[in-house]
Amino acid sequence: MARIHQDITVDVPREDAYELWSRVELLPCFLRHLTSAVPLGDELVCFTTEIGRRRQFVARVRQHRPGHAIRWSCAEEPSHQGEITFVEVSRRQTRVDFTILWDPARMSETSGSLFRLDQLSVLEDLQEFKRLAEASRREEARHHRFLPRKSKEFHDLVSRILRGPNPASTHRTTPETGETPVDGAQPTPT
């Protein structure tokens, strides 16, 4: 069994970090080897991955401690089990600990394990999670409101952040009205 463990500190409250990670449909946004994640009820999730080759498997959530931890396992190939925990560092910081034990099914995956490439891959995924979590928090603060994590508005916000900056949405005041255009709106000529 190969073991991967990485952690990262994100500048968001523990509940926010947990909520973002627990949105199964958003996992492919920051776990780059996932191409899709589809919930199949409360305990099952169907994943499609691109690790060496395209695979689809179903994982079972073994423990779900809201705000604190998620544990899962998968008997299908690639056989694995894992845990993600969210530890409050301060009121506005969270340490995200990710651990996975897996049985490399192919030689290329075994080589990746031997050369610690999978450690680097997980670290990159956690860095992308950090970027997304902190960017969504900053965007909400800029608009002086916080969106419920399960709302369509939050999902749309995350999608906009993932698409990257929109050059047309620079924040500026229009000379005509003194208002700041929102979401790329152009000032109306007078």
Axis crossing angle, helix 107-114 with helix 117-142, rounded to the nearest 10: 80
* pLDDT at residue 116, as a whole number: 47
Q: Which residues pair with 57 in a beta bridge?
A: 47
Question: What is the dotted CATH code of the domain comprising 2-162?
Answer: 3.30.530.20
Domain ranges of the chain: 2-162
The pTM of the whole model exceeds 0.75? no
Dihedral (Cα; 55, 61, 65, 70), 10-degree rounding: -20
| 130 close to 8: Cβ distance less than 8 angstroms | yes
The alpha carbon dihedral of 130, 47, 165, 148 has a sign of negative
- pLDDT per residue, tens digit, the chain (190 aa), is 788 899 999 999 999 999 889 888 889 888 888 889 999 988 999 999 887 778 888 999 999 899 999 999 987 776 789 999 999 999 999 999 999 887 766 534 544 443 344 778 889 999 999 998 998 877 765 554 555 555 666 666 666 666 655 444 333 333 344 433 343 444 444 4
- In three-state form (DSSP H/G/I as H, E/B as E, the rest C), the secondary structure along the chain is CEEEEEEEEECCCHHHHHHHHHCHHHHHHHCCCEEEEEECCCCEEEEEEEECEEEEEEEEEEEEECCCEEEEEECCCCCEEEEEEEEEEECCEEEEEEEEEECCCCHHHHHHHHCCHHHHHHHHHHHHHHHHHHHHHHHHHHCCCCCCCCCHHHHHHHHHHHHCCCHHHCCCCCCCCCCCCCCCCCCCCC
* pLDDT at residue 153, as a whole number: 65
| 98 close to 7: Cβ distance less than 8 angstroms | yes
* pLDDT at residue 50, as a whole number: 80
* pLDDT at residue 180, as a whole number: 37
- Give burial (CB, 10 Å; 0-12/13-18/19+) of 144: exposed
Smallest CA-to-CA distance from 98 within 29, 38, 24, 18 is with 18
Structure tokens at 64: 């779900």
Q: Which residues pair with 101 in a beta bridge?
A: 3, 81
